[in-house]
Amino acid sequence: MKTKKFLLATAGSTVDGRAIDETMLTEMADGYDPKTYGARLNIEHIRGISGQSPFRAYGDVLELSVDDVDVNFHGETEKRKGLYGVFDVTDEAKELNGASQKVYPSIEIEPNFAGKGKAYLMGVALTDSPASVATERLAFNRSLPGALTLGADKPEQAFAIEFAEDDGTASQAGDSFLGKLGSMLDGFATKLGGATASKDGKPEAKPEDAAAAALDFSALRPLFEDMGRNFATQFGALQTQIAEQGDSFAVRVKAIEDRFETTPVTNYTARPAAAGAHGNTAKTDC
């Protein structure tokens, strides 16, 4: 999932007594190219070797930019250069963020990247204790940057799509879709079908050709609602089918495991009982 632009770091002194050079931020923003070297997201600057949780990668840095930032220090505003980044995060990153864990970025800088004498961003850690001041709290479970909602006030915003948080209920998703679609159609009907008022307050009659050209969006509403209900029903049925097939597969695997554990090897022969050195039954003192 592509995120909005977040403030990753600001130039100047850090909370632990170090300093971030403004030139470094500019060099990282100007020179960053994932095709040259892609910076990835990690947890607390730890890179696991197995790819398993918790120290796996949690996404990628897609782009960087710089801009001026106003930072408040005890009521006094200080202007700093800020480094902004756009991420592509994994589902695990969204789960952590949804639990309010590791919600701040911490950048990893190589001051002399590939021996070229310029700084480069090597990675970004997700942390709860950033060193740089004024870093922006990350929010991965929000809409895409600039995403527009169905039913927005402006007609040009009507057909944009946003990410919605998944609650696992297809019917609720369908109802949400229908509600937004209905709002969109009502908005179009109001804008294109409403009468305009003259200066004296009396509605002006529309030309016949304009009225004929205007779309009757209210007539389209039942059609789109039926489409939305059909989609929600089919999606819910698909989820149920997948769950049932998964349960059936698990049962079959368990049956195979049980049969394998209880079936003796075909060439197995029991060891004969010990009869002693002279054919007498061996006795043991206990």
Structure tokens at 276: 């002693």
Distances (CA, A) of 205 to 196, 198, 215, 233: 8, 10, 17, 44
Q: Is 268 among the domain residues?
A: no
Distances (CA, A) of 64 to 20, 29, 157: 16, 5, 27
Measured distance CA(66)–CA(49) in Å, rounded: 32
Same domain, yes or no, for 60 and 161?
no
Residue 191 sits in which domain range? 155-257
Whole-number percent of the chain with pLDDT over 70: 55
Q: Is 227 among the domain residues?
A: yes
Same domain, yes or no, for 11 and 121?
yes
Q: Is 58 among the domain residues?
A: yes
Total number of domains constituting the chain:
2
CA nearest neighbour of 43 among 26, 58, 28, 23: 58
Measured distance CA(120)–CA(61) in Å, rounded: 12
The pLDDT, as a whole number, for residue 165 is 41
- pTM metric for this prediction: 0.49
pLDDT in tens, 106-120: 899 999 999 999 999
217, 188 contact by CB (below 8 A): yes
CA atoms within 13 A on the CB side of 9: 31
Q: Is 104 among the domain residues?
A: yes
Q: Does residue 27 surpass a pLDDT of 90?
A: yes
- Can you tell me the mean pLDDT for 146-172? 39
